[in-house]
Structure 1
Amino acid sequence: MVLEKEVIIVGGGPIGIACALECKKRGWNYLVLEKGALTNSLFNYPKNMTFFSTSEKLEIDDIPFISKNPKPNRDEALEYYRRVATSNTLHLNLYEVVTSINKEDTLFKIETNRNHYITKKVILATGFYDIPKLLNVPGEQLPKVTHYYKEAHPYSMQSVIIVGASNSSVDAALEIWRKGGHVTMIIRGKDIGERVKYWVRPDILNRIEEGSIKAFYNSEIVEIKEHEVIISTPEGIKNIPNDYVLALTGYQPDLNFLKAIGVDLSHEENKIPKYNSETMETNIVGLYLAGVICGGMETHKWFIENSRMHAKQIVKHIEKSKER
């Protein structure tokens, strides 16, 4: 059986929810398809993560986000977006994976692991958290290597190497050290990242300076072995005893999925999808982008706070196309 919808929204994160709210206001027959849990990317964030933004900048559709902290944490964000979705009885299918999107004439045909759909408008709000940027070194496939960090307890009393110098790397290093882990950071650049939260940056720099956390700057992993890691440093090759490797080097959107649909990724260096910045419509008529996916490989360009307006831009354009 083929189900027909006016609008299909792929991705049930904050921006996908914002798009659903705009569709609901207009009484459209819409549906959100999310391959995981509601706000799946936020759910997979570290348990103790604190946002850089204040709560009002994470609000969607002027629905108040009340936090007991100056900066809200992961659990507060999950509660907020869950309440927004449930109190507005939004139409969401969770754990439904979109496998293909094809356009024939004026209709998009969408296949998932459960159903077949047809629709005239598709909004892609899929984010970029599902595909890690790999180190591409021997041993990266070992069980002790992970590209995601959830909590510090499993690494207590273990020798842990953390690759990267971004917010996620710094948060993990500090938490694991405070839970009794022996932390070494491998940093490709000459310093801790400039985008690291301003209230955290002095903490990690002090821990490195006092020697509580070791850091190798201008360094890279050459090979990961079962009980050690080989790194290249300005002083030469070093072998470091090791139990676990957290390669927190960032993530990227599913560019192959966009390419298969037909989205123009001709911006060679950063693979930024082609779209109209006023309407968010791509080179494919009726197919829109919303949220961080608009940045391609520039994953630090778009956040919840500066992309939540995409929902209104898109729906405004869909409304005008309906009037023609």
Structure 2
Amino acid sequence: MEEYDVLIVGAGPIGLGCGIEAAKAGLTYVIVDKGALVNSLYNYPVFMTFFSTSQKLEIGGVPFVSINPKPNRNEAIEYYRRVAEKFDLKLRLFEEVRTIGKTPAGVFEVLTTKNAYKAKNIVISTGFYDVPVLMNIPGEELPKVTHYYKDPHLYAFQNVVVVGANNSGVDAALETYRKGANVTLVIRGPELGPHVKYWVRPDIENRIKEGSVKAWFNSEVTAIEEGSVTIKTPEGELKVENDFVIAMTGYKPDFEMLKKLGVQVADEQSNVPVYDPESMETNLTGLYLAGVVCGGMDTHKWFIENSRIHAEQIFKHIGAKIQRPAVTASPII
């Protein structure tokens, strides 16, 4: 069984930042992820543009140079891969964590699909993109329904229903429309979401106004069939012809893992975990949280640019406990 000072669950940008800080503190560590490097970013739409500037996405003091005012998904994936190479981060990819337990001696035992580990400390930095929020309606399990939009070309000349009021839904509606899809946008509330990117909002509003994208507000999809979708609207029930449903209904962190570990939550509705905002340590000694998982169901509270500091907070606290001489984490040349 391999033993480490710290085991980091999640190889996203914040998990990588934690690995860099662990190396700086002179700690032994490993980063485990059930998917690819920065798996959530890999699963983003191919042409997605970040809301943040490249400088605000930087980790480890490595400059993120982009030719655009706002970097895109492909640039970000390349940047974080280069960061992982430069710091020679200790990665175990495509290795899913199955169980985490704590012995009476205070050591964590972690069992994955490939290995078994012991660690003095655990950092959970799993993000939220792996668990979609389901509509829980008949037909949602059909192959034509997806909660992960990737490339608009697939939907060329098809009848497409997009569900969602925020950036993912708006981007899917606009991009598929521009590839020739007949797009119907279904939004539960009375208007577009408040987080829609400011440079995209006028585009979708104008497409809706001119009728290029049909939009139903205060509405919801109630059933999906092979050739149609039923929509409950203020004007009554509507049945539209349909080939594909892109359900951009949001995602949530894996709360079950935290609850099984014994991490307390503020309340069952929000699922906001209880942690020390200075050290990021939970009620379970030696177990830390980093990144979007700290916000519970409010997945808009924490993101890369404002949670990068979590890595520094965590390893300042762990370093003080272990009291091991720090070393300089130099990039690999």
Q: What is the aligned-residue identity percentage?
A: 58
Aligned to 2:98: 99
Aligned to 2:293: 293
Q: Secondary structure at the match of 1:205?
A: helix
Q: Is the 8 A contact 2:12 2:40 kept in 1?
A: yes
The Cα offsets for residues 51-82 of structure 1, whole Å up to 9 and x where unpaired, read as: 00000000112211000000000000001100
The Cα offsets for residues 260-317 of structure 1, whole Å up to 9 and x where unpaired, read as: 1111124222100110000000010000000000011111100000000000000000
Partner Cα distance (1:323, 1:40) in 2? 33
Paired AA for residue 11 in structure 2: G
Partner Cα distance (1:62, 1:243) in 2? 46
Q: Secondary structure at the match of 2:300?
A: coil
Paired AA for residue 108 in structure 1: F
Query: How do 1:117-128 residues align onto structure 2 when only pairs under 5 Å count?
Result: 117-128=117-128
Aligned to 1:32: 31
Partner Cα distance (2:27, 2:194) in 1? 43
Unaligned runs of 5+ in 2: 325-333
Q: CA deviation at 1:223?
A: 0.7
Partner Cα distance (1:154, 1:80) in 2? 27
Paired AA for residue 159 in structure 1: N
Partner Cα distance (1:143, 1:229) in 2? 14
Query: How do 1:109-120 residues align onto structure 2 when only pairs under 5 Å count?
Result: 109-120=109-120
Q: Secondary structure at the match of 2:143?
A: coil
Q: Is the 8 A contact 2:25 2:319 kept in 1?
A: no
Paired AA for residue 120 in structure 1: K
Q: Secondary structure at the match of 1:161?
A: strand
Partner Cα distance (2:78, 2:161) in 1? 32
Asked if 1:21 is matched to 2:36, the reply is no
Aligned to 1:218: 218
Partner Cα distance (2:61, 2:91) in 1? 21
Partner Cα distance (2:235, 2:22) in 1? 58
Paired AA for residue 178 in structure 2: R
Partner Cα distance (1:140, 1:26) in 2? 47
Q: Secondary structure at the match of 2:3?
A: strand
Q: CA deviation at 1:192?
A: 1.1
Aligned to 1:307: 307
Aligned to 2:328: none
Aligned to 2:173: 173
Partner Cα distance (2:99, 2:188) in 1? 37
Paired AA for residue 197 in structure 1: K
The Cα offsets for residues 70-114 of structure 1, whole Å up to 9 and x where unpaired, read as: 000000000110000011111011111110000112100000011
Aligned to 2:77: 78
Q: Secondary structure at the match of 1:252?
A: coil
Aligned to 2:41: 42
Q: Secondary structure at the match of 2:99?
A: strand
Q: CA deviation at 1:206?
A: 0.1
Counting matched residue pairs gives 323
Aligned to 2:145: 145
Q: CA deviation at 1:181?
A: 0.5
Partner Cα distance (1:135, 1:14) in 2? 29
Partner Cα distance (2:31, 2:97) in 1? 11
Q: Is the 8 A contact 2:25 2:315 kept in 1?
A: no
Q: CA deviation at 1:152?
A: 0.4
Paired AA for residue 168 in structure 1: S
Paired AA for residue 85 in structure 1: A
Partner Cα distance (1:303, 1:222) in 2? 32
Partner Cα distance (2:116, 2:98) in 1? 10
Partner Cα distance (2:145, 2:316) in 1? 45
Partner Cα distance (2:98, 2:82) in 1? 29
1:89–1:323 Cα change, 3 Å: closer
Paired AA for residue 268 in structure 1: E
Structure 1's consecutive aligned runs of 4 or more residues displaced over 2 angstroms after TM superposition are none
Aligned to 1:242: 242
Q: CA deviation at 1:7?
A: 0.6
Deviates more, 1:20-29 or 1:243-252: 20-29
Q: Secondary structure at the match of 2:196?
A: coil
The alignment's TM-score, normalised by the length of structure 2, stands at 0.96
Partner Cα distance (1:268, 1:58) in 2? 31
Partner Cα distance (1:128, 1:222) in 2? 25
Q: CA deviation at 1:222?
A: 1.2
The alignment's TM-score, normalised by the length of structure 1, stands at 0.98
Aligned to 2:273: 273
Paired AA for residue 83 in structure 1: R
